[in-house]
Amino acid sequence: MAIQWFPGHMHLTRKAIGERIKDIDVVIELLDARLPGSSANPLLAELTAHKPTLKVLNKQDLADSAHTSAWLAWYNARPATRAIALDASDAAPARRLIDACRQLAPNRRGLSKPMRVLICGIPNVGKSTLINTLSAKRQAKTGDEAGITKQEQRIVLDDDFYLWDTPGMLWPRIIVPESGYRLAASGAVGRNAYDEEEVALELLAYLKHHYAALLDARYRLGLDAQAIGAMHDDELLELIARKRGAVMSGGRLNLQKAAEIVLTDLRSAALGRVTLESVEDFQAWLAAGQLQ
């Protein structure tokens, strides 16, 4: 689906990362565990000049754990890469992230060689939450040092461990068509850049084949997986509208309202734990040359 969203500050973010990267030891790329492939920024590999990378699959509490394990194994098999899964608001596991960075750059230790980490991720992936959890109210230091732009802030996590935060960055165009709806469904894309009904229909097209039991339980459809899988996407949205009382005066179904319900239920995990893409999907995109 078409999403046009590259606001001016994204260019500034890109520039800020490009300038900061030469002094960085480890890059933390925060990904959404429900859509690790689509939430990975293809520009980042180019910008971060192949620095050791920690992939953090955040919002693991919302994702399907079997898929999360598969994604972790896949990333951890890559050179100079470690991957961990987190719920960013959970303090103890978040501290594991510091240990993982230290493993990626073992020579950086002590006040003369502090660990310098850059954290990147798309909007809404949980960067602020994670930083607040990690810093546990330690004062964030901002802007008082040469080269730190208003776009960045430096957070001191330990005496010899600095974290640079960058604003969330999406990319100029969505290369893989399916990624557009997944990003929109997850809440990463500004509300004005997509049509909620269109996104909900794409989402249902996926859910009916992969998570039919969750749809049945949430909306009391009273249908088995085969019957749900055989429904047209429009038909399914209409049934959800009826089951949820999304009806306008005159009895017409309010499909916009039904779409909002489906998207809200996905984002809050009221629907259950859902992952929107598998490692195999991602490998197929790579094989088709849709990603670098």
Over the window 175 to 214, marking each residue x when it contacts ligand G4P by CB under 6 A and - when it does not, the resulting string is: ----------------------------------------
Least Cα distance to 233 among 281, 195, 198 occurs for 198
Q: Are 111 and 159 in contact (CB under 8 A)?
A: yes
Q: Which of 38, 41, 53, 124 binds ligand G4P (CB under 6 A)?
A: 124
Q: Are 211 and 271 in contact (CB under 8 A)?
A: yes
Pick the closer one to ligand G4P by CB: 62 or 185. Answer: 62
Count interface residues toward ligand G4P (CB under 6 A).
Answer: 16
**Residue 155 within binding range of ligand G4P, rule CB under 6 A:** no
CB of 63 to ligand G4P, least distance (A): 9
Pick the closer one to ligand G4P by CB: 61 or 238. Answer: 61
Q: Are 266 and 203 in contact (CB under 8 A)?
A: yes
Indicate the burial class of 219 (C-beta count within 10 angstroms; 0-12, 13-18, 19 or more): buried
* Integer Cα distance of 279 and 38 in angstroms: 11
**Residue 273 within binding range of ligand G4P, rule CB under 6 A:** no
Q: Are 29 and 40 in contact (CB under 8 A)?
A: yes
Q: Which of 26, 54, 83, 125 binds ligand G4P (CB under 6 A)?
A: 125
Query: What are the backbone angles phi and psi of residue 29, rounded to the nearest 5°?
Result: -105, 115
**Residue 61 within binding range of ligand G4P, rule CB under 6 A:** yes
**Residue 52 within binding range of ligand G4P, rule CB under 6 A:** no
> Site residues (CB under 6 A) for ligand G4P?
58-59, 61-62, 87-89, 121, 123-129, 168
